[in-house]
Structure 1
């Protein structure tokens, strides 16, 4: 089931991450992917978070150093 969240005990704590996929069209359609690793202090057991990580605002014009990008060249 897609809505099930694995227990933290079954995850490697240092592998918790937020993956952001953005589709943009400038010269050609591209899909950009950013991976943000979540620090251990924001990972908790159970369904309720003890501490919430605020990513703030992100300007999607920014190009990150390790950004993955796939474009369709026409």
Structure 2
């Protein structure tokens, strides 16, 4: 219990659950949206290369599109 961020058991339980959900989201992102070396990347690498990408979200044809710039080094491995 010394390493958890809160003093209350309920708050630590919620924190652990949230951590598990975040881990699952990263795993599904690697599985569904990444190719090549990013499909096997560690969470820190995935965060640096995908989650910090300078992408734009656009709407058109009743859909949403996530557009990565062509100069981003890992554009061809995402999506």
Same fold (TM over 0.5): no
Q: Of Structure 1 and Structure 2, which has the larger fraction of its residues in helix?
A: 2
Greater relative contact order, per chain length (Cα 8 Å cut-off, separation 6+):
1
**TM-score for the superposition, normalised by structure 2:** 0.28
